[in-house]
A and B are shown apart, each in its own frame.
Chain A
Amino acid sequence: METLSNLADGFVIALTLQNLFLALLGCFLGTVIGALPGLGPSNGVAILIPLAFTLGLPATPALILLTSVYYGAMYGGRISSILLNIPGDEPAMMTTLDGYPMAQQGRAGEALALSGVASFVGAFFATWGLVFLAPQLVKVALLFGPAEYFALFSLAFATLGGIASRNQAKAAMAAALGLGIAMIGVDGQTGVPRFAFGNVHFYDGIDFLVAIVGLFAVSEVFVFLEHRGEARGAGQEDKMKLGRVTPSLATLAGTGWTMARSTVLGFLSGVLPGAGASLGSFISYSVEKRLVDREGTFGTGDPRGVAAPEAGNNAAAGGALVPMLALGVPGSGTTAVLLAMLLALNITPGPLLFQSNPDVVWGLVAALFIGNLMLLLLNIPMVSLFVRVLLVPPKYLMPIVAMISFVGIYGISGSTFDLLVMIVFGVIGWVLRKLEVPLVPIILGVLLGNEMESNLRRALTISDGDWSILVGSPLAIILWALAITGFVLPMLFGRFFRMRMRHERAGEEGADPD
């Protein structure tokens, strides 16, 4: 099979000493980032992109490093959920429901080990899903013309706004802000400057890395400043007994079907553009609760309640890579950040990537398999080491995060102006988070804005200014129909859905936007 031989080639690329080392480093850093409350996959990857970029790593190794961080963060998020009842990131929110009660019963080690295995199962099979689904999607994507691409981008914004936010107007506003920011700078097709106000710094446009790091990482510092002194963070875990750090065979056998079902559900919700890992873990948990919770033990430390959301969110993390790689449309906040990295490395994801740079794609997929295995090995025996990471208090952690953000952005351009723009984005990010305006559509807008506009203009050039070309093919009509459904349907069901989610676990304000 062609796919498998491609994958074998990928392993040849990934199995060099340098790439193995980068995968290991990424997995380790990722787990630490995921475990630390206040740092999650999106902002963790965001502050590392400029660094990977300035270190001059070639595309494949850089991608291997950062996707390992991404997978690692998904693993790491569970640690503080289980031990402290504080999700390390939003997808790990559901893990607190049964993980923390297990820890209180002195079964913390078991919960950590079990969730480690569940994460592995979810991510492992989702990576296989990626291997087989992505090339199929590429075949469809090859039929896309500019009009279809424009519809596809609209679809991404619509579903992202529909599912990821409680208020569609705020999601639309965020998308418009992002797109508006992308318009700044010299227009690629006619060469006229737009929204530059005669300032030379604006002629190149606003670097999306500056925007991402500002919105995700710098704003986090302000959130912590705002909540200083409130009960949040480390302090109580030294009382916590880890207990045995291997899951018993009986527990594993008892959670097998749960993991299998959650993996499928998680993967599917990851593939949907805009849904992401939070939805994956939520759906998995709710479905399992309905299916197998006959004695009402969910919420009181049921191992199945730990396995379901962890398998679900890691499977979603893998699933979210499918639309990102095959179509260039990210499925979640963190994959939007990964997309930013690809663009920074001058790689445009999408169907052409599979043809022109198969080494990047398959090297990455192989690295995901390897990283996954490393994460399992890192996470089971070394979990007590990661637990110690939780002891770093925010008063030392957040200055480090802020300073590393500055180092990364300064490293790219050496320009004070970019640093100031980053701070402005940090403030905007903080205010918008207070008002519950989602940040991910902004990032998506900044990333996709120019591509979206040039597809629209190309389509209208083909049709010589006739707008009907946008709905001129069955494929485009399907995409528009999906976009409208994705935007309208959550208005009817989404409110109910989000309320349930909040109800099950009072939402952490300013949690990681994935």
Chain B
Amino acid sequence: MSDRVLGGCGLLLAFFYIWQATQIRVSFISDPLGPKSFPIIIGAMLGLASLYMILRPDPEPVWPRFARLFEIAVAVAVLAAYAMLLPELGFVISTALAAAFLSWRLGAGPIAAPVAGIGISLGIYAVFHLILGLSLARGPLGL
């Protein structure tokens, strides 16, 4: 079933892709092939492969239980929030928060996780910013 769903998504994507490719505006000077053809070929390939997956799906993979899936979704949300807060809070604070969350969810205890988060954040800051001179996001504290 999972393969069929993926194949279905792939097929929709292929149609959308080919439709978008036909919408590309061609300027008046162009090479014989133009900018549309290759994307259309790719879209067709995607469509064919997806069709095959719908017709001949592989055995079902083992999906995690709903709670785990939800947890992965939360982790994605946290990482996205991290990406957006990085320029606001600065590297050290936001990284400490994100790393602490991840290590907590990966099994570190309620004390170990924040310690690990702060340690990871300061460690990366020391190695990449202080030693290697990479510019990291700067926050209100100048860190």
Residues of A within 8 A of B (CB): 51, 54-55, 166-167, 169-170, 172-173, 175-177, 179-180, 183, 187, 189-192, 194-195, 218, 221-222, 224-226, 228-229, 393-396, 398-400, 402-404, 406-407, 410-411, 414, 416, 419-420, 423, 426-427, 430, 434-437, 452-453, 456-457, 460-461, 464-465
Asked if B84 is at the interface (CB within 8 A of a chain A CB), the reply is: yes
> Taking A169-B56, A404-B124 as contacts, is the C-beta distance between A180 and B31 under 8 angstroms?
no
Given contacts A51-B128, A222-B75, A402-B98, could you give 19 more A-B pairs where the C-beta distance is less than 8 Å? A51-B132, A179-B42, A180-B39, A190-B30, A394-B106, A395-B107, A399-B106, A402-B102, A403-B95, A403-B124, A406-B95, A407-B134, A407-B136, A416-B84, A423-B80, A435-B2, A435-B61, A457-B31, A460-B31
When the two chains form their complex, are residues A398 and B33 in contact, meaning their CB atoms are under 8 A apart?
A: no
Tell me which residues across on chain A come within 8 A of B117, comparing CB atoms: 399
Q: What secondary structure prevails in chain A residues at the interface with B?
A: helix
When the two chains form their complex, are residues A173 and B61 in contact, meaning their CB atoms are under 8 A apart?
A: no
When the two chains form their complex, are residues B105 and A176 in contact, meaning their CB atoms are under 8 A apart?
A: no
When the two chains form their complex, are residues B32 and A396 in contact, meaning their CB atoms are under 8 A apart?
A: no
Tell me which residues across on chain A come within 8 A of B124, comparing CB atoms: 400, 403-404, 407
When the two chains form their complex, are residues A406 and B82 in contact, meaning their CB atoms are under 8 A apart?
A: yes
A396 to B112, CA, bound (A): 10
A453 to B34, CA, bound (A): 10
Tell me which residues across on chain B come within 8 A of A396, comparing CB atoms: 103, 108, 116, 120
Nearest residue, chain B, Cβ from A401? B102
Max chain A CB contacts within 10 Å: which of B43, B75, B84, B91? B75
Asked if B29 is at the interface (CB within 8 A of a chain A CB), the reply is: yes
Tell me which residues across on chain A come within 8 A of B48, comparing CB atoms: 172
Nearest residue, chain A, Cβ from B32? A465
When the two chains form their complex, are residues A399 and B102 in contact, meaning their CB atoms are under 8 A apart?
A: yes
- B106-143 contact mask (Cβ, 8 Å, vs A): 1 or 0: 11100000001100110110001000111111000000
Tell me which residues across on chain B come within 8 A of A434, comparing CB atoms: 2, 61, 63
Count how many pairs of residues, one from A and one from B, have CB atoms less than 8 Å apart in the complex: 191
> Taking A190-B34, A396-B120 as contacts, is the C-beta distance between A407 and B107 under 8 angstroms?
no
When the two chains form their complex, are residues B99 and A403 in contact, meaning their CB atoms are under 8 A apart?
A: yes
A400 to B128, CA, bound (A): 13
Partner of B76, one of A404, A423, A435: A423
When the two chains form their complex, are residues B27 and A191 in contact, meaning their CB atoms are under 8 A apart?
A: yes
A166 to B82, CA, bound (A): 37
Tell me which residues across on chain B come within 8 A of A221, comparing CB atoms: 75, 102
Residues of B within 8 A of A (CB): 2-3, 6, 10, 14, 17, 20-21, 24-27, 29-35, 38-39, 42-43, 45-46, 48-50, 52-53, 56, 58, 61, 63-64, 68, 71-72, 75-76, 79-80, 82-84, 86-87, 91, 95, 98-100, 102-103, 105-108, 116-117, 120-121, 123-124, 128, 132-137
When the two chains form their complex, are residues A461 and B106 in contact, meaning their CB atoms are under 8 A apart?
A: no
The 10 closest A-B pairs by CB, nearest first: A419-B83, A465-B32, A176-B46, A395-B106, A173-B49, A169-B52, A399-B102, A172-B49, A399-B99, A187-B35
Tell me which residues across on chain A come within 8 A of B99, comparing CB atoms: 399-400, 402-403
Q: What secondary structure prevails in chain B residues at the interface with A?
A: helix
Nearest residue, chain A, Cβ from B51? A169
A421 to B2, CA, bound (A): 24
When the two chains form their complex, are residues A173 and B10 in contact, meaning their CB atoms are under 8 A apart?
A: yes
Max chain B CB contacts within 10 Å: which of A176, A192, A452? A176
A430 to B83, CA, bound (A): 19
Tell me which residues across on chain A come within 8 A of B50, comparing CB atoms: 173
When the two chains form their complex, are residues A436 and B61 in contact, meaning their CB atoms are under 8 A apart?
A: yes
When the two chains form their complex, are residues A419 and B63 in contact, meaning their CB atoms are under 8 A apart?
A: no
Shortest B27–chain A CB gap in Å is: 5
A410 to B79, CA, bound (A): 13
Tell me which residues across on chain A come within 8 A of B68, comparing CB atoms: 225-226
Nearest residue, chain A, Cβ from B85? A416
Max chain B CB contacts within 10 Å: which of A229, A402, A403, A420? A403
Tell me which residues across on chain B come within 8 A of A183, comparing CB atoms: 38-39, 42
6 contacts between A and B (CB under 8 A): A183-B42, A190-B26, A218-B79, A396-B108, A403-B99, A420-B80
Shortest A119–chain B CB gap in Å is: 28
Partner of A194, one of B24, B58, B86: B24
Nearest residue, chain B, Cβ from A398? B106
A172 to B44, CA, bound (A): 11
Nearest residue, chain B, Cβ from A187? B35
When the two chains form their complex, are residues B49 and A170 in contact, meaning their CB atoms are under 8 A apart?
A: yes
A435 to B57, CA, bound (A): 10
When the two chains form their complex, are residues B134 and A190 in contact, meaning their CB atoms are under 8 A apart?
A: no
> Taking A221-B102, A396-B103, A411-B134 as contacts, is the C-beta distance between A419 and B64 under 8 angstroms?
no
Tell me which residues across on chain A come within 8 A of B3, comparing CB atoms: 435
A403 to B50, CA, bound (A): 35
Shortest B92–chain A CB gap in Å is: 11
Tell me which residues across on chain A come within 8 A of B98, comparing CB atoms: 399, 402-403
When the two chains form their complex, are residues A402 and B79 in contact, meaning their CB atoms are under 8 A apart?
A: yes
> Taking A395-B106, A399-B102, A461-B33 as contacts, is the C-beta distance between A423 and B42 under 8 angstroms?
no
A419 to B116, CA, bound (A): 23
Max chain B CB contacts within 10 Å: which of A222, A461, A464? A222
A457 to B48, CA, bound (A): 23
A398 to B117, CA, bound (A): 12
